[in-house]
Amino acid sequence: MRILTGFLLTLLLIPAFIAVVTLTFNEVGKAESFNDILDKKIHLNRTMLSETSRIAASNGEIVNEIFHPMNRSYVSESEIPDFIKEVFITSEDQNFEKHPGFDLPAISRALAINIHAKGIEQGASTITQQLARNQYLNHHQSYNRKLSEVLYAYQLERTFSKAEILEQYLNAIFFQNNAYGIQAAADVYFQKKPAELSRAEQAFLAAIPNNPSYYDPLNHFERTKKRQERLLDQLVEQKRIQLGDAEKLKTEPIVLKVKPRKNFYPDYTAFVLSELRELVTKQENINDPAKITMRIDELLKSGITIHTGLDVELQKRTASAVAEHLPYQDIQGAAAVVNHETGLIVALAGGKNYHSGDFNRAYQAFRQPGSSIKPLLVYAPYLERTGSSTNSKINAGSICVKGYCPKNYGGSNYGTVTLERAFTHSYNTPAVRILQQVGVDKAFSDLAPFQFEKVSSQDHVLAAAAGGFTTGMSPLEMTNAYTVFSNTGFYQKPRSIVKVTDRSGQLLFKWNDKPVQVWSPSTAGKVRELMQKTVSSGTAKKAAIVGQSAGGKTGTTNDFKDFWFIGFNGPLTAGVWVGKDLPQSMENINGQSPHLLIWRDIMN
Q: Which amino acid is at 97?
A: E
- Cβ(459)–Cβ(369) under 8 Å? no
State the DSSP H helix or E strand holding residue 54, giving kind and residue range, or none if neither: strand 53-56
Q: Which residues contact 455 (CB under 8 A, 6 or more apart)?
A: 444, 447, 469, 471, 473
Question: How far from the centroid of its chain's Cα atoms is residue 103's Cα?
Answer: 44
92 is catalytic: yes
> To the nearest 10°, the Cα dihedral for 457, 458, 462, 465?
-80
- Cβ(7)–Cβ(114) under 8 Å? yes
Distance CA 592, CA 229 (A): 66
Note the residue count of the chain: 604
Q: Which residues contact 329 (CB under 8 A, 6 or more apart)?
A: none
First vs last C-alpha separation in the chain: 78
Question: Is residue 339 helix, strand or coil?
Answer: strand
Question: Is residue 302 helix, strand or coil?
Answer: strand
What are the phi and psi torsion angles at 561 (to 5°)?
-85, -20
Q: H helices within 141-285, ranges in order?
A: 143-159, 162-172, 181-190, 199-206, 221-237, 243-251, 266-284
- Cβ(496)–Cβ(511) under 8 Å? no
Nearest to 183, CA basis, from 92, 299, 65: 65
DSSP 378: I
Distance CA 527, CA 534 (A): 10
Catalytic residue chosen out of the listed positions 92, 149, 157, 275: 92
In angstroms and rounded to an integer, the radius of gyration of the C-alpha atoms of the chain is 34
371 is catalytic: yes
Phi-psi region of 332 (alpha: psi -120 to 50; beta: other; left: phi over 0): beta
Q: Which amino acid is at 371?
A: S
Nearest to 473, CA basis, from 489, 451, 491, 497: 451
Nearest to 481, CA basis, from 385, 553, 387: 553
Distance CA 318, CA 492 (A): 23
Q: Which amino acid is at 239?
A: K
DSSP 560: G
Distance CA 318, CA 603 (A): 9
Catalytic residue chosen out of the listed positions 371, 486, 496, 593: 371
Distance CA 528, CA 430 (A): 19
The CB-side HSE value for 170 (13 A sphere, CA atoms) comes to 29
Residues labelled catalytic: 92, 371
